[in-house]
Amino acid sequence: MNALVINCSPVRTGATAEIAKIVSDSLLDRYTTKFVCIDDYRFEFCKGCRRCHVTGECVQSDDVDLLMNEFSTADVIVCVSPSYWADIPGQFKAFIDRCTPWCNTHDPHKTIPAGKKGYVVALRTGTSMKECDRIIGSIEHFYGHLEIECCGSLGLCGVENRDKVFDRTDEIVSFCSEI
């Protein structure tokens, strides 16, 4: 079984990356795990041309297909996202927008193999869970349009920086035991 863990932040060494690493390490005993950062991929913004609604293909050719291939080979997908102004980072949102060719709301559309399970870890610096819930909702909405079953989420408030992650390791590992 394969697991894909995505650092949805463009920061490769911050709190989100550290949480994604803990998640990835926690899954190693049960899954062949691949850990990626959204910033590992180069892609353009969606042009909004809707050509993919007619052809099932995007008019642009870049790394979106590479990352979607990682989705295709994974049995489990875990997106780890920080709050950027109460939602997912723009880089990850741009990726989601470019996944319209795989969206199940129009035909023809591309598909990934069925039976995938999706999980979300959201983090923020403040104390209100409302922002984490919004991030979780955005990613679960994305999963739904790819027909990935939403199976669990974890919201982490008060994560100001990478050092604050270490206080939450047990909570993260416990969440991972359910994956």
Question: Distance between CA 110 and CA 14 in Å, rounded?
Answer: 34
Question: Distance between CA 136 and CA 152 in Å, rounded?
Answer: 9
Q: Please report, in tens digits, the pLDDT of each residue of the chain (179 residues total).
A: 999 999 999 999 999 999 999 999 999 999 999 999 999 999 999 999 999 999 999 999 999 999 999 999 999 999 999 999 999 999 999 999 999 999 999 999 999 999 999 999 999 999 999 999 999 999 999 999 999 999 999 999 999 999 999 999 999 999 999 99
**And the tokens for 146?**
């790819």
| CATH number assigned to the domain comprising residue 168 | 3.40.50.360
pLDDT digits (tens, 9 = 90+) for 9-32: 999 999 999 999 999 999 999 999
Q: What is the structure's pLDDT at 106?
A: 92
**Domain around 23:** 2-176
pLDDT digits (tens, 9 = 90+) for 120-146: 999 999 999 999 999 999 999 999 999
Q: How many domains does the chain have?
A: 1
Sheet holding 32-37, edge to edge: 32-37, 2-7, 76-82, 117-123, 149-156
Question: Distance between CA 17 and CA 152 in Å, rounded?
Answer: 19
CB 71 within 8 A of CB 146: yes
